[in-house]
């Protein structure tokens, strides 16, 4: 590899690090994203310049097809579907790494069999990439299907699942050892198949609100496979990029699990003992206090302190622009208004931040849970728009509940609570929210965008 290529790859690796740093803040996120994307394009183009590649036409065609799919997908995907898109892209990355490792193994076999200098560590890294990449691919496809409602979001378990999972793990270890001691493409393919099985068995028992956490974990898996493939291919860009993704994905998984108040092992295997966040659930027929937009407008119009709790329902209705307009009207009349952001509101970390940023909501108004929880007791009205589990007191009061122990927003401490909901169906955790039946709570039923539009007109008419 020429020196200039190594320097270019080193520059690309530095750009990836700077891009990740840029993504850590809203003001620099766009620039960070562009910097990382630009570095990736340069890294892809460089081999065409200094290598005498075979099948250039097929490679360019594959890049063209991938580019078209990526651009069209990015333009058409809704914010509510972003987690599914992340899951798909992540799965494709893991699958691609596994396929590349299989091809590299095919290249290594003749050299290893003739006493070549293929080290055991390179073979071990190849086996790791094949297995973990396959796990990430299969698991990501299942998470996509769950979030896209192509299959049930509830845990899928069957008798003997732990036994089958354990046997698959043992088989993976045996095949990995065989790949190192007696490398063979057929052994590599068997290892990939076992990886697919492990990926399926790992994610099927996960349900409901736990799925985004598993996506983050699988993202870390894909990063590790890319890093391992970077070692196999002696490519510093892949090594650095994969390490960054693996490290950040692991850290994000830990943060999300902490936000849910549960361990990663409980999230992955909790359904085997009834502890997973289940999802689904039936609509309650218990009586509640409901009101029309005019009554809620009076509550908001005369409130000095208001906190908005956004959730997945806001994203589904694409009502963020109407909500921003309502907040502007109330603020112009002297009300102090902030948005309370729970770490796992929506279906992915930062979901609400991105959604509200799209509506040009000042970032200073987006207050994280730990900072705003002490403010609820001094709040006149809390307006919950499409959220449920993140304000459910069962997380603090009901041992045995799927979300018990999860830190929540203390909306129940406010003087008045207004819930905007389509129906009385429970949240993604599949359990009732006792806050809905609190004497301080008023429900405004209907589509969030339609209800917010009527509420906005009623506030203007005061």
Active-site residue set: 389
Cβ contacts of residue 249 below 8 Å, gap of 6+?
Answer: 216, 217, 219, 220, 221, 222, 223
Cβ contacts of residue 135 below 8 Å, gap of 6+?
Answer: 94, 195, 196, 198, 199, 202, 218, 221
- Which is it for the CA torsion 225, 226, 230, 232, positive or negative? positive
Tokens at residue 241, please? 């990029």
Tokens at residue 236, please? 């510093």
| Alpha-carbon separation of residue 9 from 2, 12, 173, 235, 237 (angstroms) | 11, 5, 34, 8, 6
| Alpha-carbon separation of residue 295 from 72, 302, 337, 459 (angstroms) | 44, 11, 19, 10
Alpha-carbon distance of 339 to 390, in angstroms, equals 13
Instruction: Compute and round to an integer the Cα radius of gyration of the chain.
Output: 25
Residue 404: phi and psi, rounded to 5, are -60, 130
Q: Residue 343's closest CA among 262, 266, 432, 222?
A: 262
Provide the 8-state DSSP code for 441. Answer: E
Q: Residue 406's closest CA among 206, 266, 235?
A: 266
Alpha-carbon distance of 31 to 36, in angstroms, equals 9
Q: Residue 228's closest CA among 93, 384, 33?
A: 93
């Amino acid at each position: 590899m020429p020196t200039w290529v190594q320097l270019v790859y080193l520059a690309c690796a530095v750009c990836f690090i700077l891009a990740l740093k840029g993504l850590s803040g809203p003001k620099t996120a766009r620039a960070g994203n562009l910097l990382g994307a630009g570095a990736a394009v340069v890294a892809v183009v460089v081999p065409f310049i200094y290598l005498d590649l075979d099948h250039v036409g097929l490679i360019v065609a594959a890049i063209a097809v991938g580019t078209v799919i990526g651009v069209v997908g990015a333009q058409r995907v809704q914010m509510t579907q972003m987690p599914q898109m992340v899951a798909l892209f992540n799965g494709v990355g893991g699958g691609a790494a596994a396929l590349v490792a299989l091809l590299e193994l095919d290249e290594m076999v003749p050299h290893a069999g003739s006493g070549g200098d293929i080290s055991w560590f390179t073979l071990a890294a190849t086996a790791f990439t094949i297995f973990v990449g396959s796990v990430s691919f299969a698991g990501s496809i299942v998470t996509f299907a769950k979030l896209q409602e192509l299959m049930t979001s509830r845990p899928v378990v069957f008798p003997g699942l732990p036994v089958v999972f354990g046997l698959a793990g043992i088989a993976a270890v045996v095949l990995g050892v065989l790949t190192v001691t007696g490398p063979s493409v057929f052994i590599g393919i068997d290892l990939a198949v076992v990886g697919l099985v492990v990926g399926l068995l790992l994610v099927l028992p996960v349900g409901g609100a736990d799925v985004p956490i598993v996506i983050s974990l699988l993202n870390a898996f894909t990063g590790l496979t890319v890093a391992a493939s970077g070692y196999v291919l002696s490519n510093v860009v892949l090594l650095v990029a994969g390490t960054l993704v693996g490290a950040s994905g692991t850290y994000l998984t830990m943060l999300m699990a902490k936000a849910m108040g549960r361990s990663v092992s409980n999230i992955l295997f909790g359904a085997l003992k009834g502890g997973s966040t289940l999802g689904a659930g039936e609509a309650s027929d218990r009586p509640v206090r409901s009101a029309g937009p005019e009554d809620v407008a009076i509550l908001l119009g005369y409130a000095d302190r208001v906190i908005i709790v956004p959730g997945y329902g806001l994203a589904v209705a694409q009502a963020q622009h109407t909500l921003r307009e309502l907040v502007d009207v109330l603020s112009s009349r002297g009300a102090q208004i902030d948005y309370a952001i729970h770490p796992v509101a929506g279906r992915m970390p930062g979901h609400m931040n991105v959604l509200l940023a799209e509506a040009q909501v000042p970032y200073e108004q987006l207050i994280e849970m730990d900072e705003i929880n002490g403010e609820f007791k001094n709040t006149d009205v809390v307006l919950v728009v499409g959220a449920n589990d993140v304000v459910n007191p069962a997380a603090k009061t009901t041992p045995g509940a799927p979300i018990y122990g999860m830190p929540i927003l203390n909306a129940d401490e406010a003087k008045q609570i207004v819930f905007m909901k389509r129906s009385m169906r429970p949240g993604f955790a599949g359990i009732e929210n006792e806050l809905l039946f609190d004497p301080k709570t008023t429900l405004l039923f209907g589509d969030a965008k339609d209800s917010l539009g009527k509420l906005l007109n009623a506030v203007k008419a005061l």
